[in-house]
Structure 1
Amino acid sequence: MGTMAASVEEQVDALAAAPPQRALRLAGELRAAYESGRTRSLAWRQSQLRGLLRLLAEKEEDAFRALHDDLGKHRAEAYRDEVGVLVKSANAALKEIGKWMAPEKVWVPLVAYPASAQVVPEPLGVVLIFSCWNFPLGLSLEPLIGAIAAGNAVALKPSEMAPATAKFLEDNIGEYMDATAVKVIQGGPAVGEQLMEHRWDKVLFTGCPRVARVVMAAAAKHLTPVALELGGKCPCIFDSMSSARKVQIAVNRLISAKWSSCAGQACIAIDYVLVEERFAPTLIKVLKSTLKRFLADLDHMARIVNARHFQRLSSLLKDTSVAASVLHGGNFDAKNLCIEPTILLNPPLDSAIMTEEIFGPLLPIITVEKIEDSIAFVRARPKPLAVYAFTNSASLKRRIVEETSSGSVTFNDAVVQYGIDTLPFGGVGPSGFGQYHGKYSFEMFSHKKAVLRRGYLVESMLRYPPWDEQKIAMMRHLFRFNYVRFIFTFLGLWN
């Protein structure tokens, strides 16, 4: 695995040095493809989604191999978190796309009568998607599904830090989809910067806040709208439980969300746990025993993406006060870029492990006197992408929803909200903005165009001068109540 990791680093360097001229040429070709008008048809959109489904079916083993080369992901994890989710999303979009495209009829007030109005979704045009390295297939193709369903031409810039998956996408997208309207553009930061010099109709960036600021600054030159998915320190509130069975199930789900989803290298992974001091020993005991059963063999856990991130994670434990808080794990294998699942109890709150997003298999447990105190703890920190809580308390659930702000809240599980198409996925504040998945992906890459149609049957002179008090009185009356809607509803002529 050490030789493989070195090879990945070499591939990253090669992509980072790739010339940017090709990227700009491809961007121009995408604009021409969109302007031809063919991406707007339902038939084209459906054909692209079917092509993507064929790709995922016929090249599944190649996808598994690429994800293993980049991150050491087991094929079961690769299917659960990426390939399987994408198949589900593409099938759902294929089924619903006709409904999503349909104009929505809306009411107009009496002052505009006779008139009818619609909201018509139309594609934005040519969109650019920057994906991330931790779920390099899923974070590339999930937004692509929405962009295609909305009728756009798409440029996909996969992360150079996952070169095997980037190459898999480049080699196959053009074979299974319209190669003139959907393009994969490989390269490093220089290519990304050159792409942002081009005019796009929407940019979706998944990654870190530092690069997001650069993307937004570049997009501002063209007034290009941007959606950002940035992550943050996602807390998990773990309430005390009297049932040993419920504790075990909750711990199973916690471990899956923290360690078996890309080794914690996920924007929605649990970053730290809040638990009452009196219940912490029970939680820690079950965590340790379950980790031994689930992940005794580290081949079932992804590795750290590269040496730089490995060093970043190992440095989090260099502080002696932090190292002293380690209760379980803490072993590092630099040659194979593997880190043992590690549990810490009450590391200093001002240490880097509690102020920076961990993005790895280290889990701090913070004790509080009362579980309700966890709400103030979460509120005192930047808004996360997700808040998780294992509890049966209705009042605690209500308070978490009402008193904390995050991209999502999930009770009695974690991370699974990502795979539910009917829920929007996205952050708030520093964890990002813009939402996608399912219909929300379609809406992210669409413009809702207002369309009003009027006739000549009636012409009210109230809108024209000269003005007098009688006209003002009539306008007050008309604006107060929509008689047309009332009459039509009463007669059953409008649903």
Structure 2
Amino acid sequence: MNCHSLVERQREYFREGGTRSFEFRISMLRKLQDAIKNNENIFNEAMKKDMNKCPSEVYMTEVGMVLEELRFHIKHLSGWMRDKKVPTPLAHFPAKSFISPEPYGVALIMAPWNYPIQLCLEPLIGAISAGCTAVVKPSAYAPATGHAIAQMLGSIYPEEYIAVVEGGRQENTMLLEEKFDYIFFTGSPAVGRQVMENAARNLTPVTLELGGKSPVIVDKTADLKLAAKRIAFGKVLNAGQTCVAPDYLFIHRDVKDEFIIFYKYALETFFPGHEINNMNTIINEKHFERIIRLLDSGKIVEGGNTDTARRFIQPTLLDDVKPDSPIMQEEIFAPILPIITYEDINECIDYIIKQPKPLALYLFTKDSHIEKQVLSKCSFGGGCINDTIIHIATPHMGFGGVGNSGMGSYHGKKSFDTFTHYRSILKKANWLDIPIRYRPYSHKRDKLMRFFLK
């Protein structure tokens, strides 16, 4: 595919102005809504092929979330598109002021492999709602799902409006050489830096949804059985290949042994009879081999079995992990949970604030003082108190990182805002022209100016 030609055709299509009307945007959102429903079985088959993902998880973490986002945008789009009146300073009388949203233009959406449907289509919903055109680049690591997305979008939209570019690094490089009006990237911090460097050449604004090591803290007041169940859910989901998965566990020394018992029990309830054939596999051999090496970072107290032929890793608990162990030096992206014990909550806080800012943080406690302590001292993208993962599954709050874990946010109105430039406009009346701002300046005019501007 000629990427330059594609981007120029989209730019010309955008300049024609057809994408700006409410009627056009809402009709394109509804087209996508219908297409997703009609392609659900195809997505199930593709995700089974790419990473052995079962239909229940496909709907819960991919299709269902996208449909909920679409429903929210369709319901609220007309209100988001309206000009918003704001007060006008007395010094500008007679005039009125308003903020007017306009689409950025041609957007590039680069998605990762771990949630290839959700992380392709949720940003796209924001671009469509905002009135942009978009080039979508799925990850080559999930080829069946990327191709299914390309086929679906190609069947409902012309390329000059929404296009999908399949392929790997070569296609990524070619796209990043083009001038876009906005770039939305989801992936690793290392690649995010490259994207930002390319975007800087054209002064292109970016949203970077990155990753990092997201801590979970369990203090001695927590409901241990429920905490273990909810942490196990967050760690097993998608075989741990989730950017907001609990990456490592700080647990109070007094309750560690009891927690381990409850965590094992949670896994037994998730996989009755140890039937784990429908659990996700690791995406490819490179990542599988990397993860295998991390298993030596502590004492295995649960799980630890692997299947090289299937790229499968059993949900695993690692005890006696040290902060300087290999597994604590990189994002795990696997169903392995390292355990570090503590006695004072300040030990956890001191460690967390000295690390790159994580995408998520999870705290399990019944102590409001500890909750306040952690929230007031630790910086992170978002998170949960007494749960994991689910803070991202709402259109009422933005989702995004901070520092090393990203910049910008989306979901719900935040997705519309991301692809929208808000113009500040003052409309001056003609029937009166107060002369104090014009030359020649005088003592009298200075006094009036100081009266209005103070």
- Give the Cα separation in 2 of the matches to 1:70 and 1:241: 41
Task: Give the AA of the match of 2:227.
Answer: A
> Which residue, 270, 280, 284 being the options, matches 1:302?
280
> Which residue, 50, 74, 82 being the options, matches 2:30?
50
**Secondary structure of the structure 2 residue equivalent to 1:457:** coil
> Which residue, 337, 352, 359 being the options, matches 1:385?
359
* Displacement of 1:124: 0.2
Instruction: Report the counterpart of residue 286 of structure 1 in structure 2.
Output: 262
Instruction: Report the counterpart of residue 4 of structure 1 in structure 2.
Output: none
- Give the Cα separation in 2 of the matches to 1:252 and 1:327: 17
* Displacement of 1:460: 2.0
Between the two proteins, the alignment pairs up a number of residues equal to 452
* Displacement of 1:477: 1.8
* Displacement of 1:470: 3.3
- Residue 105 of structure 2 corresponds to residue 125 of structure 1: yes
Instruction: Report the counterpart of residue 435 of structure 2 in structure 1.
Output: 461
Task: Give the AA of the match of 1:308.
Answer: K
Misfit runs of 4+, over 6 Å:
none
**Secondary structure of the structure 1 residue equivalent to 2:387:** coil
- Give the Cα separation in 1 of the matches to 2:245 and 2:284: 19
- Residue 353 of structure 2 corresponds to residue 353 of structure 1: no
Question: Gaps spanning 5+ residues in structure 1: where?
Answer: 1-20, 481-495
- Residue 146 of structure 2 corresponds to residue 170 of structure 1: no
Instruction: Report the counterpart of residue 16 of structure 1 in structure 2.
Output: none
* Displacement of 1:348: 2.3
Task: Give the AA of the match of 1:199.
Answer: K
Instruction: Report the counterpart of residue 251 of structure 1 in structure 2.
Output: 228
> Which residue, 175, 180, 197 being the options, matches 1:217?
197
Instruction: Report the counterpart of residue 489 of structure 1 in structure 2.
Output: none
Which is further off, 126-135 or 177-186?
177-186
Instruction: Report the counterpart of residue 244 of structure 2 in structure 1.
Output: 268
Instruction: Report the counterpart of residue 8 of structure 1 in structure 2.
Output: none
* Displacement of 1:157: 0.2
- Give the Cα separation in 2 of the matches to 1:448 and 1:47: 23
The answer (yes or no) to whether the contact 2:239–2:281 under 8 Å persists in 1 is yes
The answer (yes or no) to whether the contact 1:342–1:363 under 8 Å persists in 2 is yes
- Give the Cα separation in 2 of the matches to 1:29 and 1:299: 46
Question: Gaps spanning 5+ residues in structure 2: where?
Answer: none
**Secondary structure of the structure 2 residue equivalent to 1:327:** strand
> Which residue, 91, 97, 106 being the options, matches 1:111?
91
The answer (yes or no) to whether the contact 1:196–1:219 under 8 Å persists in 2 is yes
The answer (yes or no) to whether the contact 1:52–1:177 under 8 Å persists in 2 is no
- Give the Cα separation in 2 of the matches to 1:218 and 1:448: 24
Matches within 5 A, 1:154-233: 154-233=134-213
* Displacement of 1:364: 0.5
- Give the Cα separation in 1 of the matches to 2:449 and 2:250: 58
TM-score computed with the length of structure 1 as normaliser: 0.89
CA deviations on 1:118-156 (whole Å, 9 max, x unpaired) are 101100000000000000000000100001000000100
* Displacement of 1:47: 1.1
* Displacement of 1:407: 0.6
**Secondary structure of the structure 2 residue equivalent to 1:279:** helix
- Give the Cα separation in 1 of the matches to 2:383 and 2:374: 8
Instruction: Report the counterpart of residue 388 of structure 2 in structure 1.
Output: 414
Task: Give the AA of the match of 1:286.
Answer: F
Task: Give the AA of the match of 2:259.
Answer: L
Instruction: Report the counterpart of residue 415 of structure 2 in structure 1.
Output: 441
CA deviations on 1:384-434 (whole Å, 9 max, x unpaired) are 001111111111111222111011131111110111111111100000101
- Residue 3 of structure 2 corresponds to residue 23 of structure 1: yes
CA RMSD of aligned residues (A): 1.3
TM-score computed with the length of structure 2 as normaliser: 0.97
Instruction: Report the counterpart of residue 144 of structure 1 in structure 2.
Output: 124
* Displacement of 1:178: 4.2
Task: Give the AA of the match of 1:173.
Answer: L
Task: Give the AA of the match of 1:294.
Answer: F
* Displacement of 1:163: 0.1
* Displacement of 1:179: 4.0
The answer (yes or no) to whether the contact 2:383–2:389 under 8 Å persists in 1 is no
- Give the Cα separation in 2 of the matches to 1:280 and 1:386: 22
- Give the Cα separation in 1 of the matches to 2:56 and 2:312: 19
CA deviations on 1:247-297 (whole Å, 9 max, x unpaired) are 2222221111111x2111111000011111111111111001211221322
* Displacement of 1:456: 2.2
**Secondary structure of the structure 2 residue equivalent to 1:154:** strand
- Residue 83 of structure 2 corresponds to residue 83 of structure 1: no
Task: Give the AA of the match of 1:26.
Answer: L
The answer (yes or no) to whether the contact 1:424–1:436 under 8 Å persists in 2 is yes
**Secondary structure of the structure 2 residue equivalent to 1:317:** helix
* Displacement of 1:479: 2.0
* Displacement of 1:451: 1.2
The answer (yes or no) to whether the contact 1:54–1:176 under 8 Å persists in 2 is no
